[in-house]
Amino acid sequence: MEGILHPAKTAARFTAFGATFVGPVLSFFSQQLVENTAQNTPLFFLAREGYWLEKAFKQYLSGSNKKQTSCYLLASRAFLFKLLLGDSQSYAYSLKGDFKGSFYDLMRTRFLLSNSEIGVIFSNEISGRHVELPVDEKSITEVLANHKKAIDKVIAPTKCAYIAYLEAMGVNKQPTLHLVDLGYSGTIQSLLGILLNKNTYGHYLIASNPGVHSIEGWKATMKGYLKEGIKIGEGYLPLDRSMFLESLLTAPNGQFRDIKLNTFDQSKFDFYYGRKVASQRYFYELEQIMAGALNYCFHTGKHQLAFTSHELELLLNSYMGKPNMIPKCTTHIFDIDDDVTGNGTVNALQFFGLA
């Protein structure tokens, strides 16, 4: 109601909040990317967070009067889990974490298989079987291995379309693929490395597993610019409460779930997305928040203003740890979907008792 009665006032609150909370995060990250990558190195911004991370990077470059190639790349953990369902190399990532339910539910929620796809690949007996992770990881792996031929046949059209999409985006031309995301464990980076048989370099705000890793014979380097070597639950608030940033740094669409070659033009692609949460339903409000953040990135790039890691941590700790720091007119857009872990929609403010 407040937004209807005072739209200009509310819009100003949105942009001011974007400049003070999100702006410093995006400016810091963009500055680090500029300083730590070569000008001729294309950067590929991942997942829903990459939508705004790339826009901020471009604004920072524009303010700095610099140029570097970048693009936003559609990817999601669940989509890549599905794409690599027939590849045992991926199971260390896709079967990680807790799960309780039917085998059918596991395939639906974590691997995005449709009802018909599950019916084609698995028998009713297998689909109805109760499974738990990590307890049943070995038996699930055996089932998938026994159905590899059927899995590959069902997944083939999607994999073909996605590989063509990556090629169209220039991904395959890179000897080492430089990927950008908020963080944290580098799952999407690792899966893309397995899919493409390519060395990768992940640039993250926070990296839980920094350094150089060997993944199926390929090198995966992970670098965190704000913090490295810290995991969720160890008391580092910017990571433990990363939902605050994830809910705002989201693309206008839901989770990327599928891709197909266009029926009438095989050089084009049709993309399919999951349900929208509040930040996507009210995307016009989110755009006002991000307008303030992007203007801030341009300003800091132009005047070469920089935050230290400590300064940014103090700012994030204030917003993420203290009540009443988040404007009430924005609280409804702090939703994220946590479908991969089976938690549905989660509101960051309510989850941490700040709403």
The token pair at 259 is 């891709």
pLDDT digits (tens, 9 = 90+) for 5-44: 444 555 788 999 999 999 999 999 999 999 999 999 999 9
302 domain residue, yes or no = no
The per-residue pLDDT for 283 is: 93
pLDDT digits (tens, 9 = 90+) for 228-258: 999 999 999 999 999 899 989 999 998 999 9
Helical residues (DSSP H) of the chain, grouped into ranges: 2-5, 7-17, 23-36, 49-64, 77-83, 91-94, 103-109, 115-121, 124-127, 137-146, 148-168, 187-196, 237-240, 243-248, 278-281, 283-303, 309-321, 348-351
Amino acid in position 311: E
The pair phi, psi for residue 191, each rounded to 5°, is -65, -40
148 domain residue, yes or no = no
* Residue 18 DSSP label: I
Three-class SS state of 231: coil
181 domain residue, yes or no = yes
Burial of 176 (0-12, 13-18, 19+ CB in 10 A): middle
The per-residue pLDDT for 229 is: 97
Cis amide linkage into residue 184, ω under 30° from 0: yes
342: left (phi over 0), alpha (psi -120 to 50) or beta: left
pLDDT beyond 70 at 3: no
**Distance of CA 146 to CAs 110, 150, 151, 277, 295, Å?**
19, 9, 10, 37, 54
The pair phi, psi for residue 291, each rounded to 5°, is -60, -40
Cis amide linkage into residue 134, ω under 30° from 0: yes
199 domain residue, yes or no = yes
305 domain residue, yes or no = no
93 domain residue, yes or no = no
Q: Residue 238 belongs to what domain range?
A: 27-77+161-281
291 domain residue, yes or no = no
Q: How many structural domains compose the chain?
A: 1
82 domain residue, yes or no = no
pLDDT digits (tens, 9 = 90+) for 268-324: 999 999 988 888 999 999 999 999 999 999 999 999 999 999 999 999 999 999 888
The pair phi, psi for residue 39, each rounded to 5°, is -60, -30
